[in-house]
Amino acid sequence: MPDLVLLGSVFLPAAAFDPLAEVLENRGHAVRITDPGPAATAEDVLSAHRAAIGERGDVIGVAHSNAGTYVPALVADGAPTSIVFMDAVLPAPTGGVVPAVRPDLGGLLRPLVVDDALSRWTEWWPPETVRALFPDEATFERVHAATPRVPASYLGAAVDVLAGWTDGLRAAYLAFGDAYADERLLAESLGWATQTMELAHLGHLQRPAEVADALEVFIEAAGSGGLPPRRP
């Protein structure tokens, strides 16, 4: 059975993926979690993802949020062999230089810079909005304490994406709601399997067992070299 590597955003700690990893491990999967933050450059983040993937060829990556930006470079390395984008950025197959932080998001984040670092992801929105993303107060406090303050210089980072990086890639897209609707449509246009769960952006933290169920459908198909049918 291929190892699973949960590729997390630079803005979130590994603790945000612990519940999902625990469910998957209890089901017999070997799971590793990347923890790229705090990082000042795109190369720092890419190095963290590469270190978690290691040298094994039979690895399935699960990229969440901002981590999707780095998938083309990882694919160019030859591993992981399959990818599930989980409510994540999906770079265009045409390639080019892709900002590590979407310009619209960067504009919102620049006013949050203090002492040359961004405030924590858990502080970007009103407390009641953020806490609604967590299953309970204890989980929020644990993740909040571990959430890094990313250097402000990261807002200017960029990633080189090779044209045609999706060619022949075994991949799927799992969306949590419609925040990444454009990415889901792109995945569908590429012939990838897709599924939408009515969850918030941290759905894997709110409902880890349900998200694990969905991931396992993709994982099983990717591990066998096929893809499941598209889902609405």
116-147 per-position pLDDT tens digit:
999 999 999 999 999 999 999 999 999 999 99
pLDDT tens readout for residues 69-84: 999 999 999 888 899 9
b/e for 109-139, b at 16 or more Cβ within 10 A? beeebeeebbebbbeeeeeeebeebbeeeeb
Is the pLDDT at 115 greater than 90, yes or no? yes
Token pair for 160: 């080189």
Fold type of domain 3-223: Rossmann fold (3.40.50)
First to last CA, the chain: 28
Residue 173, SS3? strand
Q: What's the whole-model pTM score?
A: 0.93
pLDDT tens digits, one per residue of 15-70:
999 999 999 999 999 999 998 988 889 999 999 999 999 876 678 999 999 999 99
Crossing angle between the packed helical segments 208-223 and 18-26, to the nearest 10 degrees: 60
Is the pLDDT assigned to residue 232 strictly greater than 60?
no
Please give the structure tokens belonging to residue 112.
């949050």
Look at residue 224 and give its three-state secondary structure: coil
Q: How far is CA 22 from CA 19, 35, 59, in A?
A: 5, 16, 18
The average pLDDT across 200-212 equals 97
Q: In which band, very low, low, confident or very high, does the pLDDT at 226 lie, cut at 50, 70 and 90?
A: low
- Contact yes or no for 34/63 (Cβ under 8 A): no
Give the pLDDT confidence of 163-192 residue by residue, as tens digits: 999 998 999 999 999 999 999 999 999 999
DSSP string, 52-112: HHTT-SSEEEEEEEGGGGGHHHHHHHT--SEEEEEEE----TT-EEEESS-HHHHHHHGGG
Calculate the average pLDDT of the chain. 91
